Structure 1
Amino acid sequence: MIAVGLTLAVIGPFGSFAIGAFADRLLYWMPAAFGGYLIVRPFVVVAATAADALRLPAGPALAAGVFIGALPMTFF
């Protein structure tokens, strides 16, 4: 996650380059990367567990877990 936060701070995607200097972007992207991981990871674990228990394909279940977990980050 550190590499993700650093990379996003360097390139400044999604209009974040206008935030300001590298340090400002770093202060934005590091918590966003770690927060995203902390929010999405439990949904992925639940989706994988449910897929195993219900004998469903893992791919679509994991995609659904990522999609549902990403919804809260759209408001950040």
Structure 2
Amino acid sequence: STSPDDLHGMLAARAVVTELGGSTSHAAVVGRALGVPCVVGCGTGACEQLAGRTVTVDGGAGRVYDGALSV
């Protein structure tokens, strides 16, 4: 999850993925306002599995894909 203290990180991020949260969570609301792709509520352990990997985040579909997809 994110909090207001995470705003600077969200400004620098290319995308945001969280284990907790829903469509009205801090990450989702701020991500939409910043135009940063965001997928929230992926479940416990999801971020640990993604750490250090390149992924593609589709905020519109709510999906996280393994690797860098051409867009």
Question: Shorter-chain-normalised TM-score: which range?
Answer: under 0.3
- Structure exhibiting the larger radius of gyration computed from Cα positions: 1
Structure with greater helix percent: 1
TM-score relative to the length of structure 2: 0.24
Larger strand proportion of the pair: 2
